[in-house]
Amino acid sequence: MRRIVLVLAAAVLAGCGGENGGTATLWITRDRGAHVILQRKVPAGLTAMQALDRIAAIKTRYAGRYVESIDGIDGSIVARSDWFYFINGYEADRSAAEYRLRVGDVEWWDFRSWRTRMREPIVVGAFPEPFLHGYGGSRLAARVVFRLPVQRPAAERLARLIGGRAMRGADAVSKENVNLLVLLPGKRPSLSAGGGQAPGDSVVFTFRGNPELLLRKVPFGRLRYQVAP
């Protein structure tokens, strides 16, 4: 009897989150982040599906593994629009019912058309992710690469922000299995991302403009897939 009680208690705790009381962040948007529907903190330790179900009215399909509707916004094969989700900027590779949130994770659901493009392996809108928390509890080493001496102070601050190192020169860009933030001069700010073909793979974020924009409380590019100049 005592064993049954312990098992039930463990199951209740698993459903209530955990991770020592830490939290993750959950965003719901549409049209590639152009319209924000909801932003909330959720307990770490929940699955991505459990966290979503806590804060929104959802409908699922395929035995609860995939999301069909959030707050009355339904996916449609005819319209070629659906819900997609990212963890720390990586397009997820599994059902939201299978991904368990860690402390600091950013879970982002976006409703968009897939008429012209289905996949978006990595997006910039959760910066400073994925530099901080990676994917599935694993993160790669991080580097901030800059070209001009005047960029050094901001590069060093950004390196502290993402838990990495600031380096000057093109040699750092060639490093494998490292997440890179490359700072380039430019009059009009832009932010793009490459790599990350599978969640957890190395990425290269390229920023043009004044790097101080990435150090704001709400960094440049927040809730966007990419930002063109």
Q: What is the pLDDT of residues 117-142, one digit of tens each?
A: 999 999 999 999 999 999 999 999 99
Do 130 and 43 share a structural domain? no
**What is residue 187's predicted lDDT score, i.e. its pLDDT?**
93
Residues 173, 105 within the same domain: no
Distance CA 204, CA 131 (A): 10
pLDDT at 6 over 60: no
Secondary structure element (H or E) that encloses residue 6, with its range: helix 2-15
Tokens 């102070």 belong to residue: 153
* pLDDT at residue 10 tops 70: no
pLDDT at residue 17 above 60?
Answer: no
Burial 110-140 (b: 16+ CB within 10 A, else e): bbbeeeeeeebbbbbbbbbbbbbbbbbeebb
Q: CA-to-CA distance for 153 and 168, rounded, in angstroms? A: 12
**Are 12 and 107 in a shared domain?**
yes
Q: 126 and 227: one domain?
A: yes
pLDDT of residue 216: 98
Considering the domain architecture, whether residues 95 and 138 belong to the same structural domain is answered as: no
Q: How sure is the predictor about 19, in pLDDT bands with cuts at 50, 70 and 90?
A: low
pLDDT band of 12, cuts 50, 70, 90 = very low
**Closest listed residue to residue 61, CA positions, set 51, 69, 52:** 69
pLDDT at 113 over 90: yes
Going by pLDDT thresholds of 50, 70 and 90, the confidence category of residue 176 is confident
Q: How many domains does the chain have?
A: 2
What's this model's pTM, rounded to 2 decimal places? 0.89
Q: What is the pLDDT of residues 177-228, one digit of tens each?
A: 899 999 999 999 999 999 999 999 999 999 999 999 999 999 999 999 999 9
Shared domain for 94 and 136, answered yes or no, is no
What is the average pLDDT across 94-114?
Answer: 98
Domain final position from 54, 80, 113: 113
The sign of the dihedral angle between the CA atoms of 176, 179, 183, 188 is: positive
- pLDDT of 3 reads 42
In which residue are the tokens 């990419």 written? 226
What average pLDDT does range 77-97 have in this prediction? 97
Please tell me whether residues 143 and 164 are part of one structural domain. Answer: yes
User: What's the DSSP call for residue 79?
Assistant: T
pLDDT at 9 over 90: no
pLDDT digits (tens, 9 = 90+) for 137-166: 999 999 999 999 999 999 999 999 999 999
Residue 144: give its domain's CATH number.
Answer: 3.30.379
Provide the phi-psi class of 210: left if phi over 0, else alpha when psi is between -120 and 50, else beta: beta
Q: In terms of Cα–Cα distance, which of 54, 57, 113 is closest to 82?
A: 113
Provide the residue range defining the domain that includes 136.
122-229
Report which of 22, 36, 190 is spatially closest to residue 105, judged by C-alpha positions.
22
